[in-house]
Structure 1
Amino acid sequence: MAVEISKGVYWVGAVDWGIRKFHGYELSTHRGSSYNAYLIVDEKVALIDTVWEPFSDRLLDNIREIVDPSKIDYVVANHAEMDHSGALPEVIRIATNATLITSKRGLESIPGHFHQNWNIHAVSNGEHLPLGSSELLFIDAPMLHWPDSMFTYLSGRNILMPNDAFGQHYAAAFRFNDEVDQEELYEEALKYYANILTPFSDLVLKKIDELLSLQIPVDIIAPSHGVIWRKDPLKIVKNYQEWARQIPQKGAVILYDTMWKATLRMAEAISGGLTVKGIPNKLIHLAASDRNDVIVEVFKAKAVIIGSPTLNSGILPTVAPMLEDFRGLKFKNKVGAAFGSYGWSDEAVDKIEEALSEAGIKVAAKSIKAKWQPDEAALDCCRQLGEELAEEIAR
């Protein structure tokens, strides 16, 4: 059902309790998600974003609780990705007189997805659109997280609708941040940032500075996924500034997979060396872990230590995808090391070191290779590796 979030402004989206994988690269959504769309009823009627196509009927039903969808004057597409724009064909089929508002880059992405001859108006950064007692302000936000992304601000109601920024994949019975479990909420907000926005951290800081420089009052931040921030809404903005600076905690994660427990024993010895030096650390068995949850742990820690036995002259297939993620996420301010066991050849450790360097993670300690099962001398070397990295982490 529709929920009024401010006078004349309604959430008309859909909650997806059952989704567990999101996007083409399958971001895990253990707590579901939502597709948030916002209806503004003034002298003109505006719909800000839509929902994923399977939820089109729910969106239209929610709109009908407030107004006849054919009366919509403007449909704003802040971003063309299908979880936001999927219902556009159904909405525009009914709202035949509506103007579709996009960013300049949206002139490419929206027609590229739908191949329809719609009435599209591309707005410039800072352009205003009067609705009556309120007006919309459009703010370009390229690469947060697509080139076509923009924010929409509703003056008179002081509502920022930033599409994918400040969101969470979090299904909830209630719509507002002060109505849900705070630990769950911030876990999902951090997971969302770490997995989606980390590569754009410099742009995040720049855009937040630009946004704050506008000195527009913000009473509500209404993202396109998860709950709406109405209590202390700028707290999540401050969180984003902190996360975007990527100042890690003084801790380590040891990521590994193992075939016959040789690499596991090495991981435990490295953990022992870190622990002796008082450095918090976690061992994460990649074969039994969700990769998006692992990325959150890596995001928080200063050191990432990766272990794999050699298989077919390379890295285990449970380990290699994480290294590919690291290349794309472009983590900052991290150090790393590699370790692993081998039998007939020992290429895995060298390939891990190479991948860490390519991802911008400084290899800060000599990596360890153990032939067959590690003997006590090899395990001592692993403990020394942990102690050496502990000194690097503590700096």
Structure 2
Amino acid sequence: MSKIEFTGSEVLTAHLPAVEVKKDVYWVGSVHEDIRSFHGYETRDGTSYNAYFIKDEFPTVIDSVKREFAGEFIERIKSVCPLSEIKYVISNHAEYDHASAIPILMKNLDPEVPIVTNKKGQDALVRNYPSLADCKFLILKPKETLTIGKRTLSFLATPLVHWPESQFTYSEYDEILFSMDVFGQHIASGKRFDDEYGWERVKESAIEYYANIVACYRLQTARALKLTAKLGKIDMICCAHGLIIRSHVDEMIKLYQSFTDGSIYRPKVTVVYDTFYHSTEAMARAIQEGAQSIGAEVMRIKASVGGTTQVARHCFDSKATAWGSPTLNSGMHTEVAGVLHYAKGLKILEKKPSVSFGSYGWTPGGTKVMVQELESCKSDVIETIDCNWRPTEEILKRCFDAGIKLGKLALGQELKDEE
């Protein structure tokens, strides 16, 4: 067996110990406090990369961490089990933040230790980490199991939640679901469990996480939930990011069900805009006041301040939206264009009514491009309001009335023909 090999960039000190989450089941992951961007998603609270170890007759590692944290990941495993005793390494997801430390781990294990995954998982691992081509693989199909002693692990294919090879691992003995990215949150904390950190904070982070990463895979997520319901009892969810769920398992599963069936949607209007000289901002405020005047909840977000993460989070659970931009080079403000494109990819505007609005100087054009993009998002654009230079009282009244329309639709009220 070779010595532990590092590239020099990994964190070598285990600042946090391995944490026993249930008898002989340990968290051996890492915490990344200072990360603030996760492929376009603003991680204001950092994140964690959760990996797990099961001590049984055949000691088993489940997932790994981001390569930079390979040192502390391996040290945590060693604190509960010699590396020479490990018999299996399970990979539920091949993405860099959960699998890039696997090559380093495998170099320090017996060559006969296999990576347990599915066929697509093997393909993704070898393509992303070529050194793994020399490793042994144990390819398991859905409904096949792996006995590691008194525990028999089962595997649940969850393709496109959110990569093609994604899967869950379930330990009936421990009543633990190792859920990969599903049910996760981007939180960096010295706490490991939902009840230690606070359920409401975990819940809000889980909503933001789903809205920004998984929302476009709603149908696939719904299928995964149906399959999960057929498993045995789930007493704990060991997800790949954030806090382990042990006190609010039913609440977390119900929260995800609300994501997929639409019951998460609120009587809420999200107004997204940006502005050069406050004209479009004045229109945005008028729309906000109109919706609020009839009791709708409103979230107004300046795109260049709130950014893609907050826009996605609030558009996700809103029943209606409004989009405003001044005309720039016959098109949209760059910040608005960026967040609208981001929302389009997440499919969070589909079948939701919207209003487009904005000011222009020499010639209009911004709202026309915006309407085209909203329609490509499958949003129902009910009104467009253009303003030449600064908004008049008449324009602001139109915006206020448009806000009323959106508010009514968000509240589930029908619009009259004259509206």
Match of 1:40 among 50, 54, 73: 54
Shift of 1:333: 4.2
RMSD (Å), alpha carbons: 1.2
Deviation per residue, 1:59-87 (Å, 9 max, x gap) = 11101111111221110110100100011
Partner of 1:91: 105
TM-score (norm 2): 0.91
Structure 2, gaps ≥5 residues long: 1-16, 413-419
Partner of 1:221: 237
State how far apart, in whole Å, the 2-side matches of 1:180 and 1:9 are: 20
Are the aligned partners of 1:302 and 1:333 in contact in 2 as well (CA < 8 Å)?
no
Deviation per residue, 1:3-26 (Å, 9 max, x gap) = 11111111111111111111xx32
Q: Give the SS at the match of 2:174.
A: coil
Are the aligned partners of 2:296 and 2:408 in contact in 1 as well (CA < 8 Å)?
no
State how far apart, in whole Å, the 2-side matches of 1:223 and 1:276 are: 42
Is 1:387 aligned to residue 404 of structure 2?
yes
Deviation per residue, 1:228-276 (Å, 9 max, x gap) = 1111322211110011222321110111101111101111111222122
TM-score (norm 1): 0.96
Are the aligned partners of 1:44 and 1:72 in contact in 2 as well (CA < 8 Å)?
yes
Listed as ranges, the matches of 1:116-195 within 5 Å are 116=131, 117-195=134-212
Deviation per residue, 1:96-126 (Å, 9 max, x gap) = 2310011121121011011121111221011
Q: Give the SS at the match of 1:167.
A: coil
Are the aligned partners of 1:246 and 1:333 in contact in 2 as well (CA < 8 Å)?
no
Shift of 1:213: 2.2
State how far apart, in whole Å, the 2-side matches of 1:4 and 1:218 are: 18
Following TM superposition, the consecutive aligned residue runs of length 4 or more in structure 1 with deviations greater than 4 angstroms are none
The aligned amino acid for 1:268 is: R
Is 1:349 aligned to residue 386 of structure 2?
no
The aligned amino acid for 1:271 is: Q
State how far apart, in whole Å, the 1-side matches of 2:337 and 2:247 are: 42
State how far apart, in whole Å, the 2-side matches of 1:297 and 1:232 are: 23
Match of 1:198 among 210, 215, 225: 215
State how far apart, in whole Å, the 2-side matches of 1:355 and 1:333 are: 14
Is 1:55 aligned to residue 57 of structure 2?
no
State how far apart, in whole Å, the 2-side matches of 1:56 and 1:107 are: 20
Structure 1, gaps ≥5 residues long: none
State how far apart, in whole Å, the 2-side matches of 1:91 and 1:224 are: 18
Shift of 1:160: 0.6
Partner of 2:10: none
State how far apart, in whole Å, the 2-side matches of 1:2 and 1:107 are: 28
Are the aligned partners of 1:257 and 1:307 in contact in 2 as well (CA < 8 Å)?
yes
Listed as ranges, the matches of 1:241-280 within 5 Å are 241-247=257-263, 248-280=265-297
Match of 2:37 among 21, 25, 41: 21
State how far apart, in whole Å, the 2-side matches of 1:387 and 1:294 are: 21
